[in-house]
Structure 1
Amino acid sequence: MLAAQRMEPPRTSRGGRPRDPSRDGVIRAAILRLLAEVGYGGLTMDAVAAEAGVGKATIYRRWRTKQDLVVDTISELNQAIAEPPDTGSVEGDLRQIMSLVVATVNSPAGGAIRSILPAMQYQPALVEAFRTGPLAVWRAAYAQTWARAEARGEVRPGLDQSVTAEATTALLVQRWLLTGEPLDAAYVDEVFETVVRPLVANARPVQG
């Protein structure tokens, strides 16, 4: 996917020592771990500071509230698939993206996203962060993949955001968010061979 829109989280200056950018990665990793473990409701600024091994002032120099903290972190997720692989064929590209998606949802980032879904019902800012962050990255990567396949003459035009495109990831998302069954390489292989490959074959340009 192409790089997603970046949300600019609210920041406030609280004086004292300037913000140290080198701590950002450590803090974000701590946020993801905690979200996966305790969910949005159980997350506290104190817990983030303790998990990251920093002072509370370091957290508050970056985010005023827990919502700011989570929104900012969500908007940065899924960067591993921001630039989709180019293997030279649509089948190869889709197979690689499926592996990257599964690696992401099986990581602390995937656990964090799952944990905030209940909170999205009453936190519009979280919904927006998910829409313009992980979901936008995901959609943009697939759009770029279908566009390249169309340019190579492998598929007919207009597949981006089609039912065919949605179906290539639907079973992965179902396992991740609904059934909780394992998402491993064997399952990805099975989905690719029994669902994705036939869909791609059916999407070939009409000869005539």
Structure 2
Amino acid sequence: MTEVKQASGRPRDAEAASAIRAATLKLINEHGYGNVSIAAIAAEANVARQTLYNRWNTKADLVLDALFETAGEQAAAPVHDPDKTCREQLAIFLRRVFSHLTANGGPIRALIASAQEDLAFRDVFKARFVKPREVMVTDLLRDAQHRGELDPNRDPEMLSRFVHGAFWYALLTGDPVDDDLVRGIVDGIFYP
């Protein structure tokens, strides 16, 4: 008779992971990245600390994962809609991004600050969070050029950097990321 060994430990629980991500964003929003410990996150999520360490190597990994989850929902790539101008699509995209930044600006600001102190973390933050969003806007602006809505001599990659620079600056200085900023950015890219 062959003995069947059971795997040790509990299976990963998607519900626990979701609770941990929610607790992470809540605490970072309330107290700032540097003032939140893994122990506090575990307590808020009502899980053992080891549950966090089984899924994430560091607090930064956990915070990034929580932000990516909400960014994927609220700041997904713009849908290339042939019935809307690229100007309209950019405005819609920016409103969704700004909604995300309004809800999660605290953790994002804290992560930007942490990225200045930890070069390895900065590389991960840039590769996994910043660059993919720049590519989304660059692709939309290239589409605008193909559709004749944007001067073909303008550089979509540089324009994307301008777009992101404008709202990162507003986020870091505490200025509102709102419809006025959306209009200013879109007008600056497409000229009214």
8 Å contact 2:134–2:161 — kept in the other structure? no
CA pair 83-128 structure 1, distance change in 2 beyond 3 A: same
CA contact (8 A) 1:74 1:129 kept: no
Q: Does 1:41 align with 2:31?
A: no
Structure 1: gaps spanning 5 or more residues: 1-14, 203-208
2:76 matched residue in structure 1: 82
Assess, with a 3 A threshold, how the Cα gap between structure 1 residues 165 and 121 changes in structure 2: closer, same or farther: closer
1:184 counterpart residue number: 178
Q: 1:197 aligns with which of 179, 182, 187?
A: 187
Contact 1:30 1:51 in 2 (8 A): yes
SS at match of 2:107: helix
CA distance 1:102–1:67, shift in 2 (3 Å): closer
Match of 2:47 among 54, 59, 66: 54
Tell me how many residue pairs correspond in the alignment.
182
User: Does the CA contact (< 8 Å) of 1:63 and 1:69 recur in 2?
Assistant: yes
Letter of the aligned partner of 1:102 in structure 2? F
Q: Which amino acid in 2 is paired with 1:184?
A: D
Superposed displacement of residue 115, structure 1: 1.5
Cα 1:98–1:74 change in 2 (3 A) is: closer
Amino acid at match of 2:80: D
Change (3 A) 1:168 1:59: closer
Q: TM-score, normalised by structure 1?
A: 0.74
Where does structure 1 differ by over 4 angstroms across 4 or more consecutive aligned residues? 74-77
CA shift for structure 1 position 55: 2.5
* 8 A contact 1:33–1:112 mirrored in 2: no
Picking from 89, 92, 101, the partner of 2:88 is 92
Tell whether 2:129 aligns with 1:139.
no
Tell me the distance in 2 between the aligned counterparts of 1:52 and 1:190: 39
Residue 114 (structure 1) aligned with residue 109 (structure 2): yes
1:101 maps to which of 97, 100, 105:
97
Report deviation, 1:177. Answer: 0.8
Higher-RCO chain (CA-CA 8 Å, sequence separation at least 6):
1
Which residue of the partner structure matches residue 21 of structure 2? 28
**Aligned-partner residue type, residue 90 of structure 2:** L
1:47 positional shift = 0.6
How does the TM-score come out when normalised to structure 2? Answer: 0.79
Q: Which residue of 2 aligns with 1:149?
A: 144
Unaligned runs of 5+ in 2: 1-7
Bigger proportion of residues as helix: 2
Q: Is the 8 A contact 1:34 1:43 kept in 2?
A: yes
Matches of 2:57 and 2:188, distance apart in 1: 50
